[in-house]
Amino acid sequence: MKLTELKAIQLAELFSSLSDASRIRIIALLIGGEMSVRAIADGLGMTESAVSHQLRGLRHMHLVRARKSGRQVFYTLDDDHVSRLFTLGLDHVQHG
């Protein structure tokens, strides 16, 4: 398949955002619906700082979207590509 170097880099960056167990667990949580940073941190036993750092990367790659409400920020998956990549990857792992 023909692929410009730019697209190759963008694809690699997309998959990079899914290449860490903490981020995978964040996304797995968000498949269940919108959550605040603290709720994610509590749910995963991570510090809010670590979660916030990871969410920034995910936001930057348009994998999650933020909605601010008062002093909380609620995150959701940005579009259905994300959960489809997730479940397709899970398929591969489970048939490995």
Closest CB to a second copy among 38 and 89? 89
Any contact of residue 62 with DNA (CB under 7 A)? no
**Which of 24, 28, 29, 46 forms a contact with DNA (CB under 7 A)?**
46
Long-range contacts, 52-58 (Cβ 8 Å, 24+) = 54/20, 54/22, 54/23, 54/26, 55/26, 57/17, 57/23, 58/17, 58/23, 58/26, 58/27
Interacting residues with a second copy (CB under 8 A)? 1-3, 5, 7-12, 14-16, 18-21, 23-25, 28-29, 31-32, 62, 79, 81-82, 84-86, 88-93, 95-96
